[in-house]
Amino acid sequence: MSTLNQSRNGPATVQLREAHPGPAHARAGVSEPARESPHRIGPRRPLVVVAVAVVVGLVAFAVWRLFLAPPAVAPGVIAVSGRIEGDDSAVAAKGSGRIREITVREGDRVEAGQVIAVLDDEQVRAREDQATAAVRQAEARARLAQHQIAVLEEQLRQSRLGVDQARADAEGRVNEAEGRLAAAEAQLTQAQATHAQAKWDREAMARLFQKGLVAEQEAQRARNNAPGTRVVLLNVWGSWRELIVSPAERVIPVPADLSDEDAAQALVNPVTAWVMTMVEHDLKPGDWLVQTAAGSTVGQLVLQLARSERFRTVNIVRRRAQAPDIKALGGEVVISSEDNDWGTQLATASTGKALSRAIDCVAGRIGATVARHLVPGGRMLVYGALSSHRQTDPSAFEMPVFAPRLIYSAAAVQGWYLLHWLEVTPLAECGAIFAKVLDRLASGALRLPPAKRHRPQNIADALRDADGAPREGKPLLDLSSWAAD
């Protein structure tokens, strides 16, 4: 039997149920002909049969009602019996994975968009982490590439600037060289005329002296400047040529016993050592002088002057191995800046000594430390900056002088340059000092290091020798080979 259930608001539902037989009915049967019983049936037997039948019927009704009867139909629902065919729908997720949770049960009503199952996202999160790591690596590579591009662009810009600067420098040098050539040609013309005039003046001076019309001093000056006389020029520029015009008072004759090599070096290092010690500092016997770069040419010349003029020295060298040579030249105190405590050694050496004068060729922290140990009113001449040699760091060119010590001691740190001294000093004084230095070199009281001559064609070798250490000798350009050629 089918029952159709119709609700007021919902769709019709059909319930299928199986028909069951109703209550047991008494069945009549045909019995065999009664037999005669030896005993007579009593009047209670029909009642027992009826009672049994009633009990069986009640039991059957209870079983049907409890277990076999269809469920009760709600009000407003029509129960019918039958069979309904429906379409199955396959449900699939966009991604694969294991189901972690099912939120509905079989037979539940679902709506569009309702979550019916939840997938385990462990694998998805792992793939997401891998993807995130890959993105970060790609971003890092992109940033590195951008940085490299920026560096290359800056290098390219610097290269272009260098090319432009080199081009401008080259054009400037060409223009300068053309200007010098024109000036040299003009000077040559003037020099030829001056040379002819000087020759005539010298011959005229000789004739006047023979006649007793000029003094011996004027005649001697004319003889000293005679052709073939070796001379050095005092602060005269442009002397690297075959013919030059110079005022007579700037021409200093070279002693006959002095070699060409020593005469060529006389104006720079020997005059520098003499002027700083004997003129600027005016050292007297027993005075103390502190000098840096004591192993340099100027430093060794200062030690020779200290021996002859009897002043005393505290010497600072760069390497410990230089100490024996400095002591052999007469240096009393030798300190190596290789030692970490060299400043303490200098302070100890200054105890009991009036270190009021110093000359410095290093500058930087070494020069600043020396300045800090000067006595009140002391003075240091800075004539070089070896601390900046082959340096590109701007701090290497600085001299960090300790200001409080400089102020309260009223010490002076002064730059010193030979060419500036020659410009501000009277010419007669310069000539007298230069002649005195030449005489000391000629007598052997001052000795210069060996020299090595280079032809002008090999000027690159001379520059390499000048920049290298150790070297065979002081590199000199021999311009006489040009005249020979």
State which H helix or E strand residue 408 sits in: helix 403-408
Reduce the DSSP state of residue 313 to 3 states and report it. Answer: strand
- Residue 7 lies inside a defined structural domain of this protein: yes
Q: Does 317 share its domain with 341?
A: yes
Domain of residue 390 covers 261-445
Q: Does 316 share its domain with 437?
A: yes
- Residue 28 lies inside a defined structural domain of this protein: no
- Residue 344 lies inside a defined structural domain of this protein: yes
CA-CA-CA-CA torsion for 237, 243, 244, 249, nearest 10 degrees? 120
Tokens standing for residue 39: 């005993």
Other CB atoms within a 10 A radius of the CB of residue 77 amount to 18
Q: Distance between CA atoms of 444 and 371, rounded to whole angstroms? A: 33
Strand ranges of the sheet holding 357-360, from the earlier edge strand across to the other edge: 333-336, 312-317, 288-292, 357-360, 379-382, 412-415
Q: Distance between CA atoms of 305 and 308, rounded to whole angstroms? A: 5
Task: CATH number of the domain at 329, please.
Answer: 3.40.50.720
The number of distinct structural domains making up the chain is: 4
- Residue 253 lies inside a defined structural domain of this protein: no
In this prediction, residue 388 carries a pLDDT of 78
Q: Does 302 share its domain with 424?
A: yes
Q: Does 355 share its domain with 467?
A: no
Peptide bond into 11 cis (omega under 30): no
Q: Distance between CA atoms of 305 and 457, rounded to whole angstroms? A: 37
**Quick one: CA dihedral 349, 350, 353, 359, positive or negative?**
positive
Residues in the chain: 485
- Residue 110 lies inside a defined structural domain of this protein: no
Q: Does 143 share its domain with 175?
A: yes
Q: Distance between CA atoms of 481 and 188, rounded to whole angstroms? A: 20
Q: Does 365 share its domain with 435?
A: yes
Q: Which runs of consecutive H residues, i.e. helices, occur in 13-121?
A: 45-63
Q: Does 459 share its domain with 403?
A: no
Q: Does 401 share its domain with 459?
A: no
- Do the Cβ atoms of 294 and 332 come closer than 8 Å? no
- Do the Cβ atoms of 395 and 368 come closer than 8 Å? no
pTM (2 d.p.):
0.55
- Do the Cβ atoms of 275 and 266 come closer than 8 Å? no
Reduce the DSSP state of residue 51 to 3 states and report it. Answer: helix
Q: Does 468 share its domain with 357?
A: no
Average pLDDT per 10 consecutive residues for the chain, totaling 485 residues: 40 40 41 46 70 85 74 69 70 75 84 83 80 89 89 85 80 77 72 63 58 52 66 78 77 88 90 96 94 94 95 93 92 92 87 88 91 92 85 77 87 93 90 90 91 86 76 79 59
- Residue 221 lies inside a defined structural domain of this protein: yes
- Residue 153 lies inside a defined structural domain of this protein: yes
In this prediction, residue 160 carries a pLDDT of 83
Q: Does 435 share its domain with 462?
A: no
Q: Does 340 share its domain with 282?
A: yes
Tokens standing for residue 309: 């003029």
- Residue 163 lies inside a defined structural domain of this protein: yes
In this prediction, residue 356 carries a pLDDT of 92
In this prediction, residue 177 carries a pLDDT of 75
Q: Does 293 share its domain with 394?
A: yes
